[in-house]
Structure 1
Amino acid sequence: MRNDDWLTVLQEEVDKPGKSQNKVAKELGISPSKLSQTLRGVYPGSTEDIRLKVEGKYMSRTVACPVKGEIPIDECSENQQRPFSSANRERVRLYKACRSGCPYSSLDATAKGKPIEVRTTTDEVYRLDDQLAYLRRTAKGDSLRLNELLEAELSKLATRYNQLLWSKKYSRSEQ
């Protein structure tokens, strides 16, 4: 992907009927002036945050998060910027994962713990027995925790299944 592809996609989004720079800026969560300056190539600061938002929202670029599974790249970036909060377990796990060697994190590895391995190949066979054993070990006998882990696993599988259906549908329509 060329560096300016996201700018082309952004301009095309602004040019769509019923859209405007204000509407697109609101969708991306940035100011209209920042969007305007970025499109004109005169924004004095970094446009990395806009690039990630455009790639996640309009270009469907995803990453394999070790905690949440397949997520848009802009959501990954947002998770990295969140401060620590013990409000829920997922936030704690995300905070640790983003700081302990996740290959998609732009943060320095500061959390103690083993580096997290992220499988990037999708050609692997899903081994149900192995995954269930792993989830049971992780739950350590806590049935509520096991339910949470199973729900998260089901969500990941549903996401992957839907992606496969979409890719199959669109590969047929392109031929």
Structure 2
Amino acid sequence: MKWLNVLRQQVELNGQRPVAEKLGVSNAVVSQVVNEKYPGDMNRIQALVESVYMSKTVLCPVLGEIAWHACHQHQKNEFTSNPQKLRIYRACRSGCDNSDLPVTQNVQLDALANRGNTSAKYDASAVINRLSRQAENEGGRHRLIDLLQDELHSLAARFNKLVK
């Protein structure tokens, strides 16, 4: 279980509390998962770890490619008058493949997808700059290597989706 090794590594590097906060779970949950004694939904914890630390993404019909955990946070949003949040709210309730919510809206998801980013081009220079800045704040060269590996895995997953 690669994700469990990643979780253990993050706890060792950063501590249990920061990892729990980043995952949005309690310290007890992280402790139980690391010690393989968690009685709850391990698939949910696995998906959280893969999203936060291993770049697991989904394709949102409104926002484009986003982190899995961000998608599930958007699903918890309430009805709003903010135009973009309203489009997300409706898409999550209109049969989006990534949504765990029941279908309660009748919105054309294809139409929503075309309203999002007009350019989905991958800007390698921007990503390298962003990851370099993040690595400087989080531990230097070794962290940069980890971040670049995660980005490469994410790119591979996106490429493989396109090839299918």
Q: Which amino acid in 2 is paired with 1:153?
A: N
- State TM-score, norm by structure 2: 0.66
> Secondary structure at the residue paired with 1:96?
helix
Q: From 120, 138, 141, give the equivalent of 1:157.
A: 120
Q: Is the 8 A contact 1:80 1:98 kept in 2?
A: yes
Note the C-alpha offset of 1:56: 1.5
Cα deviation for residue 164 of structure 1 reads: 10
Give aligned-pair identity as a percent: 35
In the alignment, is residue 81 of structure 1 matched against residue 76 of structure 2?
A: yes
- State the Cα distance separating 1:117 from its structure 2 match: 4.0
Which deviates the most, 68-77 or 35-44?
35-44
Residue equivalent to 1:72 = 67
Report the structure number with the largest CA radius of gyration: 1
- Which whole-Å CA distance do the structure 1 matches of 2:96 and 2:124 have between them? 25
Partner of 1:59: 54
Contact 1:56 1:62 in 2 (8 A): yes
Q: Which has the higher contact order (CA 8 A, sep 6+)?
A: 2
- Within 2, Cα distance between the matches of 1:48 and 1:163? 34
Structure 2 CA distance for aligned equivalents of residues 163 and 84 of structure 1: 37
Q: Specify every segment of 5 or more residues in structure 1 that has no aligned partner in the other structure, as ranges.
A: 119-130, 135-148
Contact 1:63 1:73 in 2 (8 A): yes
1:3-41: CA deviation from partner (whole Å, max 9, x where unpaired):
x3322221121122xx11122112222211111012222
Alignment length (residue pairs): 131
